[in-house]
Chains A and B, each alone.
Chain A
Amino acid sequence: MKLSAIKETLNAQVLTGEEFLDKEVYAAFGCDLMSDVLAFVKEDTVLLTGLTNPQVIRTAEMIDVFAIIFVRGKKPNSQVIDMAKERNITVMTTDYILYNACGKLYEKGLQGLDIKGVQVNG
């Protein structure tokens, strides 16, 4: 799915990286746990999250994620937007909650990631 189609589907506002809306992602991952993002996300995946701190951008950078959608109308501060800009990461914000944003993208055919179950000990 093209980032431009994601923008449209989620009625999202692009905060930076408008010039990359032609790029395409093949999966989505919705999560507020950065270590889970690092464990499961592969390339060409869009990340949906309610967190807006610098660590979200850093995490995306480490695994070459180039598109982040902030849900629930969240907007990061300008320092975080600048970090994304420097790294050519497209950042959008949508008013939908995480569940609805994921649902809308899924409905349009964007799949979630296929992961093996996480073993939780204890």
Chain B
Amino acid sequence: MDDKSGVINLEYEVIRYDFSKAGQASSEIKKVLKQLGINSNIVRKVAIATYEAEMNIAIHSLGGRIIVTITESNINISALDYGPGIENIKLAMEEGFSTAPNNIRELGFGAGMGLPNMKRCSDVFEICSKKNKGTKVDMKISLN
């Protein structure tokens, strides 16, 4: 969707445990940013942030969405899901903390580095979560 104000909106559904598709949204987002000629350092940050967010939704949630809005000055990423929420956000943000079960660790996930990676890649990072409701991660990456 590309409206007149020059703002581009991208939106993708992320399905729980669909590991053959998980990563596709991030891959498409990356392609769009490259096509727009956005600086490769910024593309890299967005790619890492969206991919970690997408994998978290696929692994830890019941499913959700990734929404990317590109304006003249910023790239805004929202990753939201339909539950089950994070009980202790402070703990979840710590490097090395993970509740990933063995079958997920066998895929190469569960280092407990995803949320810290997302934070590191973004200029503004906000996470809110409600137990039994869902989680929303908002990230802003400045284009300047």
Contacts and interface: CB of A to CB of B under 8 A. Distances in A.
B22 to A, nearest CB: 7
Contacts of B85: none
Contacts of B55: 34, 55
Interface string A34-68: 11101100000000010101111011011110000
Contacts, number: 84
B74 to A, nearest CB: 20
Given A36-B111, A58-B27, A61-B27, A122 B47 contact: no
Interface string B15-40: 00001101100110010000000001
A63 B48 CA distance: 7
Given A61-B27, A62-B26, A64-B44, A55 B114 contact: no
Given A38-B52, A39-B113, A54 B19 contact: yes
Interface residues of A, number: 25
Nearest to A34: B108
A61 B30 contact: yes
Interface of B: 19-20, 22-23, 26-27, 30, 40, 44, 47-48, 51-52, 55, 94-97, 107-114, 116-117, 120
25 contacts: A33-B110, A33-B113, A34-B55, A34-B109, A34-B111, A35-B109, A35-B113, A38-B52, A39-B113, A49-B108, A51-B108, A55-B22, A55-B109, A58-B26, A58-B51, A61-B30, A62-B23, A62-B26, A62-B44, A64-B40, A64-B44, A79-B20, A118-B96, A120-B96, A121-B97
8 closest cross-chain pairs (CB), A and B: A58-B23, A35-B113, A34-B108, A33-B111, A62-B47, A35-B111, A120-B96, A121-B94
